[in-house]
């Protein structure tokens, strides 16, 4: 018998959908601050803060695709960008991340630590006063640099000294021993800022609450402009010119396979000098350099946008005496959002999942106007809840566990109405009873109304449809036996 044992990993987050909001990363070697998120802050020379919540869905998607733990997902990426000597702490508040990072640096810890895991949370409770006071100097520097309201360095330092004297006098070993103290009482006794620091240290909230977040600006993103010698409106001409522009865009930066584009802006000036800005967005991060020299993906997306634009303009200008297709006289193409992704992430895609090359499917999907539909079964007998639509490549491993539920759908049609249609009582049709179904009757007020009797209805031409009757006697058609 195959017995699956679940081992509790104390260094991992307890819930599968849990995700930290912030990360503090220390690296002795210089690396990009935008490795985990486009929103980052430089805390000191070798220390960055990153707001992970901005990319939560992306990273959770990657985790699901690779079927791994958070540490297994992020460790190779951080090693790739920052080498072996980095220390990263992922937590729900940047201040807590900084405190714990300081502790790990003091104890020569290396690698990735999830602060919300059982193990690290317990260690966090043992942090001493040195760890609590040490990062406050950098905090004071940031508050001064951003000219924070009501912050004066002298008074802050005098409150710090007063608090240290108080701690020595009453002999409390760690901040956690004093956790019963309310942030307001600390504020009254030691000033607003120490009160806030106390609050940040023990709060479960991810709200910054006066934390001095100074967003690090991206270096200027590449762009190219084209002034046309003559107006153009046919895609065949536009395509050639756009391909040249994309090539020029590549020349603006040194080839880096880690660099992926999420969105580009195409700012078009029409013949009547009207400016239209359209967005080329990619479902999956897109590497411009790797698509050289054809740039098929970007050009397909541009083509769909061009078709939409022309259709809208034709509808708008229908009653005006204007050329059939409004020509373009110039445009600007600019990258507006990009992310740095380590190659390991992409290599792993090809290696996993029973040899299904998801990277290839995603690259193809980037070229299409619609996304592929992927489904997986769910544990429910209720038809609408018996499966879910999921992004490409995110099938969970325990899908087979749902077979008792999915096998109940054997006599049901392949296609169904997402919104069941009301029909008249099918008195003339032949009815074949399938099943009685009731969905989560304990949640509704009237349990009887959740009961449905399912039938196959056959009309006089022998055509079958799938329908149900409620306890009120109302009939609904839910599918067709295509």
Partner 1 sequence: MASLPSQYKDASLQQQLQTARLLKDNLADQSQVLQSGIDVLDECFAQVKPGDLVEWGIPPGLNGRLIPLQLLKQQIPLSVWIYHHHGLGVFASSWISHGVDLQRLFFICSDNPVKELRPLFLEDTFKRIIIDAPRKLTRGDIAFVSQQARQQGQIVFLIRHYFLMAKRGNPHASLRLNTWQSSRHSFSLQFIKGPHSGKISLPYRSVAEDHERYN
Measured from the CB atom, the residue of 89 and 362 that comes closer to partner 1 is 362
d(CA 340, CA 262): 10
Does residue number 273 form part of the binding site for partner 1 (CB under 8 A)? no
Residue with smaller CB distance to partner 1, 199 or 469: 469
- 3-state secondary structure (DSSP) of residue 51: strand
Q: Which two tokens stand for residue 172?
A: 């409390």
Would you count residue 236 as binding partner 1 (CB under 8 A)? no
Q: Which of 369, 379, 401, 447 binds partner 1 (CB under 8 A)?
A: 369
How many other CB atoms are found less than 10 A from the CB of residue 465? Answer: 20
Q: Name the residue nearer to partner 1 (CB basis): 60 or 374.
A: 374
The answer to whether 402 touches 377, Cβ cutoff 8 Å, is yes
Residues 438-457 that bind partner 1 (CB under 8 A): 456
**Angstrom distance (rounded) from CA 373 to CA 461:** 33
CB 258 to partner 1: min, Å: 24
Of 464, 463, 470, nearest to 425 by C-alpha is 470
Query: Could you tell me the smallest distance in angstroms from the CB atom of residue 253 to partner 1?
Result: 26
Answer whether the bond into residue 138 is a cis peptide, omega within 30°. no
Of 363, 180, 378, 371, which is closest to residue 284 (Cα–Cα)? 363
Question: Does residue 202 belong to the site contacting partner 1 (CB under 8 A)?
Answer: no
Query: Shortest Cβ distance from residue 16 to partner 1 (Å)?
Result: 20
CB atoms within 10 A of CB 168: 10
Query: What are the angstrom distances between the C-alpha of 437 and each of 146, 317, 415, 468?
Result: 62, 54, 19, 10
For partner 1, the binding residue among 3, 170, 320, 410 (CB under 8 A) is 410
Helix (H) or strand (E) holding 31: none
- Give yes or no for residue 462 binding partner 1 (CB under 8 A): yes
Q: Assess 404 for contact with partner 1 (CB under 8 A).
A: no
Asked whether position 217 contacts partner 1 by CB under 8 A, the answer is no
Among 60, 221, 434, 451, binds partner 1 (CB under 8 A): 434
- Decide: is 235 part of the binding site for partner 1 (CB under 8 A): no
Per DSSP, the three-state class of 426 is: coil
Find the part of the chain contacting partner 1 (CB under 8 A) among 188-196, 210-218, 285-293, 385-393.
Answer: 385-393
301 binds partner 1 (CB under 8 A): no
482 part of the interface to partner 1, by CB under 8 A: yes
227 binding partner 1? (CB under 8 A): no
- Answer yes or no whether residue 353 interacts with partner 1 by CB under 8 A: yes
Residue 413 touching partner 1 (CB under 8 A): yes
Q: Which is nearer to partner 1, 170 or 428 (CB)?
A: 428
196 binds partner 1 (CB under 8 A): no
Q: Which residues contact 55 (CB under 8 A, 6 or more apart)?
A: 36, 37, 38, 339
C-beta of 75 vs 281, nearer to partner 1: 281
Asked if 473 interacts with partner 1 (CB under 8 A), we say: no
CB closer to partner 1 out of 252 and 463:
463
Query: Phi and psi for 109 in degrees, rounded to 5?
Result: -75, 150
Residue 408 engages partner 1 in binding (rule: CB under 8 A): yes
Q: Is 220 in the site for partner 1 (CB under 8 A)?
A: no
Separation of alpha carbons 130 and 94, rounded Å: 18
415 binds partner 1 (CB under 8 A): yes
Q: Which is nearer to partner 1, 161 or 364 (CB)?
A: 364
CB nearer to partner 1: give 114 or 298: 298
Query: Which ranges of 278-342 does DSSP label H, i.e. alpha helix?
Result: 296-316
The H or E element that residue 294 is part of is: none
Query: Segment 126-165, which members bind partner 1 (CB under 8 A)?
Result: none
CA atoms of 98 and 362, how far apart (whole Å): 37
From residue 169, alpha-carbon distances to 100, 150, 162, 163, 197 in Å are: 26, 29, 11, 10, 21
64 sits near partner 1 (criterion: CB under 8 A): no
Q: Smallest distance, Å, CB 44 to partner 1? A: 46
Strand order of the β-sheet with 464-470 is 430-438, 451-458, 464-470, 475-480
Chain residues binding partner 1 by CB under 8 A are 296, 300, 353-354, 356-357, 360-361, 364, 367-377, 383, 386-387, 389, 392, 395, 402, 405-419, 421, 432-435, 456, 459, 461-465, 479-482
């Amino acid at each position: 018998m195959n017995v699956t044992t679940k081992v509790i990993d104390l260094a991992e987050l307890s819930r599968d959908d849990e995700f930290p909001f912030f990360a503090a990363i220390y690296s002795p070697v210089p690396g990009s601050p935008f490795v985990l998120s486009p929103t980052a802050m430089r805390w000191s020379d070798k220390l960055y803060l990153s707001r992970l919540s901005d990319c939560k869905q992306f990273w959770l998607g990657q985790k699901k695709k690779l079927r791994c733990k958070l540490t297994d997902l992020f460790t190779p990426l951080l090693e790739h960008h920052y080498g072996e000597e980095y220390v990263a702490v992922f937590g729900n508040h940047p201040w807590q991340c900084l405190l714990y990072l300081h502790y790990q640096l003091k104890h020569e810890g290396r690698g990735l630590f999830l602060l919300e895991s059982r193990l690290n949370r317990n260690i966090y409770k043992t942090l001493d006063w040195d760890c609590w006071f040490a990062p406050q100097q950098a905090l004071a520097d940031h508050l001064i640099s951003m000219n924070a309201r009501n912050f004066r360095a002298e008074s802050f330092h005098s409150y710090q000294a007063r608090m240290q004297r108080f701690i020595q006098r009453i002999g409390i070993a760690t901040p956690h021993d004093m956790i019963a103290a309310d942030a307001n009482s600390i504020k009254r006794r030691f000033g607003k800022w120490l009160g806030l620091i106390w609050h940040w240290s023990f709060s479960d909230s991810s709200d910054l609450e006066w934390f001095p977040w100074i967003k690090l600006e991206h270096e200027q993103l590449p762009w190219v402009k084209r002034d046309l010698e003559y107006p153009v409106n046919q895609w065949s001409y536009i395509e050639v010119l756009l391909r040249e522009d994309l090539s020029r865009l590549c020349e603006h930066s040194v080839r880096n396979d880690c660099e992926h584009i999420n969105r580009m802006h195409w700012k078009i000036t029409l013949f009547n000098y009207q400016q239209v800005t359209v967005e080329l967005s990619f479902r999956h991060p897109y590497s411009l350099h790797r698509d050289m020299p054809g740039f098929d993906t970007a050009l397909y997306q541009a083509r769909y946008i061009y078709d939409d634009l022309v259709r809208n303009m034709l509808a708008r200008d229908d009653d005006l005496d204007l050329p059939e297709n409004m020509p373009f006289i110039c445009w600007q193409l600019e990258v507006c959002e990009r992310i740095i992704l380590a190659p390991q992430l992409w290599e792993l895609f090809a290696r996993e999942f029973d040899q299904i090359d998801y990277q290839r499917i995603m690259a193809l999907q980037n070229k299409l106007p619609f996304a592929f539909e992927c489904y997986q079964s769910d544990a429910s007998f209720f038809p609408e809840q018996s499966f879910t639509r999921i992004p490409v490549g995110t099938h969970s491993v325990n899908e087979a566990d749902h077979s008792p539920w999915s096998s109940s759908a054997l006599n049901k049609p392949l296609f169904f109405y997402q919104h069941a249609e009301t029909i008249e009582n099918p008195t003339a049709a032949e009815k074949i009873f399938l099943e009685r179904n009731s969905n989560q009757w304990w949640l509704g007020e009237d349990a009887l109304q959740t009961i449905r009797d399912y039938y196959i209805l056959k009309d006089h031409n022998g055509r079958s449809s799938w329908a149900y009757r409620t306890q009120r006697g109302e009939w609904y058609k839910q599918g067709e036996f295509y």
